Structure 1
Amino acid sequence: MSLGEPLEIKKVLVANRGEIAVRVFRTCRDLGIKTVALYSDADRDALHVKLADESYYLGPPEPLKSYLDVEKIISVAKRARVDAIHPGYGFLSQNPVFAERIIEEGFVWIGPDPETMRLVGDKLGARRLFSGKGIPVVPGTLEPVNDRDAVSIAEEIGFPVIVKPAGGGGGIGMFVATSPEKLDEYLKRAVELAKSSFGKYEVYIEKYFPLSKHIEVQIIGDKNGHILHLHERECSVQRRYQKVIEEAPSPSLDPQEKEKILKTALEAAKVAKYTNAGTFEFLFDTQSRGFFLLEVNSRIQVEHPVTELITGLDIVELQLRVASGESLSLKQEEIVVRGHAIEARIYAEDPSAGFVPSPGKIEHLSLPSGPWIRVDNGIYEGYEVPPYYDPLLMKVVSFGLTRGQAIARLRRGLSELKISGIKHNKFLVLRVLEDQRFLDASYTTRLLEDQKFYENLQNEDPLPPIPGKSRTETVEERKEPKTKVEKEKVNLWRVASRVRYES
């Protein structure tokens, strides 16, 4: 493997949308690889569509009729005559059936082996596998539980415990129980949510550690069994089990703890016979200083940019190369950490109102720039944020030689970021970056439960003034062209764009 050299893959379809599709396209362009985008009715004017070499219509906005329709995606791949398919994250990215269909049709699958995906995607099966090989997993059940046995099991583990669906993720159906009465109530709710959300009613119980951190290790493996780690990230600033701020390396581990968690992640990856990019996620208990494997994400992660900045490696390029059959020529000792990186996820949602999504038109957008700031995004000024998908707008990432320097630069970057027309969480992130618990790295996954973060919280940047005009006039002009001719120009431009992308 020689990074930057031409690849056998010449054309890639990204079976996704938004910022991750844009991210993959940019690496493909660096490597001289042609790109193919997919879009629904809601994404006709999306940035990933504009940046791709070719774009193809999938269907209605609803994911089941577009981005989750396996056969439609395969049909487009055949029409576009692509060599390979990258799934991004979310949607079908961790679906082994989709991966198998891609491989059956003769395309290169840019991801782990489907059998590995099936193995690590089965939460209880993965817990049984890893615990049987000596990998520490969170104390709890290795089989589904029922309401008859749950209380006795929880008392044996020790309250508090957390109830989790066996077949899902994303925080759905997860409840922390502090007593037998609460456990009985939450067990019923978890079963209902698991069945309606994932089609499987099985749930299981784990020990809940109230003062814990979320540490994860980035893995890359080739098809010859060579597996490397790209060091660790900390993702402890979360709400509803969804990450908001991530950083690399973790500021919470001493050298011995870091070495142990990296070694454990590599051992687990070898047990799973892991190929391509993946993340092994651990719970780190700050009281006992013990860590436990939580789950494996068999795809590229949203937070991969922080790892790229501290290692100087392009993870998407590594994915492409190992998927095409190249061997990893890197040695573990060559992958060293330089400096510190922090990522803030900016969502179209209102933190002061329970994080309700905020779709709508972006009336004004000013992106941060300057030294040591990276912005991965899928939006632009005038873009209509659709209500059908994940509300992630962008990731603002900073780099510094020290953690303090990275924090200062991220603050600067976020202060330059201006988004008007929709509500967003930028001001919440800024408050976290000023909190002493974040500054001294003593924060845990419960940090955002502190209600002080939400008091008198601003949730939208004001529209900037324009000399000689009121802001109301300017907004109205943007919303509606003045004349019939102008309307026709806009419509013709859209039609021309669609024809060019679809041909």
Structure 2
Amino acid sequence: MIQSLLIANRGEIACRIIRTARRMGIRTVAVYSDADAKALHVRSADEAVHIGPSPARESYLVGEKIIAAAKATNAEAIHPGYGFLSENADFAQAVIDAGLVWVGPSPQSIRAMGLKDAAKERMIAAGVPVTPGYLGADQSPERLQAEADAIGYPVLIKAVAGGGGKGMRRVESAGEFSHSLDSCCREAASSFGNTDVLIEKYILSPRHIEVQVFGDSHGNVVHLFERDCSLQRRHQKVIEEAPAPGMDPETREAICAAAVRAAKAVDYVGAGTIEFIADASEGLRADRIWFMEMNTRLQVEHPVTEEITGVDLVEWQLRVASGEPLPKRQDELAINGWAMEARLYAEDPTKGFLPSIGKLEHLTLPEHIIRVETGVEEGGEVSPFYDPMIAKLVSRGNDRQSAIDDLAQAAATTAVWPVRTNAAFILNCLRSPDFAAGTINTGFISDAGEQLIPDDAPPAAVVVAGAMAVASRSAGNPVQQFGHGLIGLSEANSRPWTGAFGFRLNAGPNQMVTIDVDGNPQTASIPDPYDELDAWVETCGNTILVGQNDGRVFAIHDSRNDGAGHHHAHDGDILSPMPGKIIAVEVTQGQAVTKGQKLLTLEAMKMEHTLTAPFDGVVTELAAVAGAQVQVEAVLARIAASEEQG
């Protein structure tokens, strides 16, 4: 058995691997960049090595530094986690050449499945069904356009070296193809250094079904059943579950057998995932499920498989890498219960899901309810240099509905500030009747439009609770944590506004107070006697935080005591949400625009982010220039509302 292990990754997955390694008695070594010097994974490991500046290309993506760190700390093996170098065949070979154990598939297997076009050709030879499309070497825009026209729209453009939804575009018509191809290739070049693409027929009622496979060096390959990852936004998974709803035993046997054939076709060793696309227009059927790609690594969503099988997949990885056979045969594996995972991201759904970076001054994760996988803690930071995932929320129940209920409760009680999260968005997805019925496909979120986006305005109960807390503080009473019914303020004053400024307790049942909620004035009517409110209150330094158990958190200030007042950007200011590069400007100064119209495109965190007009108006200022690097909160443009121009 491996005795010492270096984890060539960061954050949540590094912490996850360290936890299993420690249980197995394996010494762990972490690596970290400047940005991660105080990160949780660094403190969790037995030893840690600094490998460079914050940008991943200068630290986590530099294989030579990682191998040098392993040698300097006498680590026997390297586990790549997921992302970064996990599917880099050259790095895997360099690890092996350095005399270290590579915890993953062979470089040959990675290469065989790394390029989507070559992988599909190999799958066809192995008898695995694949989606119709174009896999040719001619990558000229003219040929690609012609092939897309021949396949018939809609089609999907996919970077052959892609993954994680990057380098992928759905194209509805011939007129959209050229623009989508350019955007796809730019993103592919930035993320993978390879602009080649393939074209696939887009399935109109698609479900994303994937099968966890595992092989060892003794020729054994098993599957650990399927996961459904159909709830996606822009090809990024939001909620995953296992098993797949509506999967009958015959279809399960067919898809899992195809996955095992796919793995055997490349002599696969270690953890891998075979991804399929299913046409669910008539339910899940074996003859309407096609191979898409193989991920030659551990997946982000692997915990749901662990929860229904009772298997620790990281432990299996370490045992197989040590030369041991698989711990279980196929007939010893079974599905027990239902599991779901939601990816809690630092992003703002009300602003087009733009990443929200900064210090996690307040962080409450529902570890008492479900399994939580995270690489951050209160007081840490969400960095602009890496993926903005805060945590994975994983529920398990005896049936699907109980798994949904637990995950919904977990999302509702998650509280993060001042960084914004998608917790309320997750909750809205879970509460959707279509999701509850298990009938959604990969287009569910885009089809639902604004229905799933949480309101950015505070609910009435939040405003009232905030006003009562401000009144209590003004009266000299401490604002302690309290929950439903405003329980737990001052024991000495059962009414939180007793002695508050300007209040007359005998003046009638309601008092009016104006407070500042996330920078916006709100007037609240405080009842006396008060009714129970569906809200919670906590303090974070000098700030009062109020939420309503729906994943949203609001910051409350006493607007009377603001002095000169808070400075808030004009509603029409278009600010850069993070450091990045302007790659396209779609408007000119003086141009009239409509609400939602595309203004410019910012490339940041390896993704393209579109900034749009907040309302109908005119571009009065335009500071954005294509190719320019911009910093967070830089004013890129200003829009004046139409009525202001009149």
TM-score (norm. length: structure 2): 0.70
Change (3 A) 1:323 1:178: same
The whole-number CA distance in structure 1 between the counterparts of 2:393 and 2:89 is: 31
Q: Which residue of 1 aligns with 2:197?
A: 203
Equivalent residues of 2:366, 2:413 under 8 A apart:
yes
| Partner of residue 468, structure 1 | 478
Spell out the pairing of 1:58-457 with structure 2 (5 A cutoff): 58-144=51-137, 145-287=139-281, 289=285, 290-370=288-368, 373-449=370-446, 450-451=448-449, 452-454=451-453, 456-457=455-456
The Cα shift of 1:268 comes to 0.6
**CA drift at 1:318:** 0.1
Question: For residues 467-494 of structure 1, what are the alpha-carbon distances to aligned partners after superposition, in whole Å with 9 as ceiling and x for unaligned?
Answer: 7259475469xxxxxxxxxxxxxxxxxx
- Distance in 2 (CA, whole Å) between partners of 1:458 and 1:260 is 48
Deviation at 1:273, TM superposition (A): 1.0
CA RMSD of aligned residues (A): 2.2
How many corresponding residue pairs?
A: 468
Per-residue CA deviations over 1:13-68 (Å, capped at 9, x if unaligned) read 10000000000000011111111111111111111011111111111101111111
Distance 2:117 2:261 in 1: 19
Amino acid at match of 1:300: L
Alignment check: 8 A CA contact 1:281 1:296 kept: yes
> Helix, strand or coil: the match of 1:173?
strand
Tell me the percent identity. Answer: 45
Q: 1:367 to 1:458 in 2, by over 3 A?
A: farther
Using a 3 Å threshold, how does the CA distance of structure 1 residues 244 and 457 change in structure 2: closer, same or farther?
A: farther
Shift >6 Å, 4+ stretches: 458-467
TM-score by length of 1: 0.89
Render the CA deviation track for 1:135-187: whole Å, top value 9, x for unaligned.
11111012144333334423432221111222223333322222222223323
Match of 1:46 among 39, 55, 63: 39
Deviates more, 1:464-473 or 1:407-416: 464-473
Q: Which runs of 5+ in 2 are unaligned?
A: 481-538, 545-646
Comparing both structures, which one devotes a greater share of its residues to helix? 1
SS at match of 2:240: strand
Unaligned runs of 5+ in 1: 1-7, 477-503
Q: Which has the higher contact order (CA 8 A, sep 6+)?
A: 1
Please report how far the alpha carbon of residue 115 of structure 1 lies from its aligned counterpart in structure 2 after TM superposition.
Answer: 0.6
Q: Which amino acid aligns with 2:91?
A: F
- State the distance in 1 between where 2:185 and 2:418 align: 39
The one-letter amino acid paired with 2:399 is: T
Shift of 1:412: 1.7
CA contact (8 A) 2:214 2:222 kept: yes
- Asked if 2 retains the 8 angstrom alpha-carbon contact of 1:12 and 1:83, the reply is yes
Distance 1:458 1:105 in 2: 56
Of Structure 1 and Structure 2, which has the larger fraction of its residues in strand?
2
Partner Cα separation in structure 1 for residue 198 and residue 396 of structure 2: 40
Residue matched to 2:623: none
Post-superposition CA distance 1:307-329 (Å, at most 9, x none): 00000000000000000000114
SS at match of 1:379: coil
Change (3 A) 1:189 1:408: closer
Specify the code of the residue in structure 1 equivalent to 2:53.
P
Q: Which amino acid aligns with 1:153?
A: E
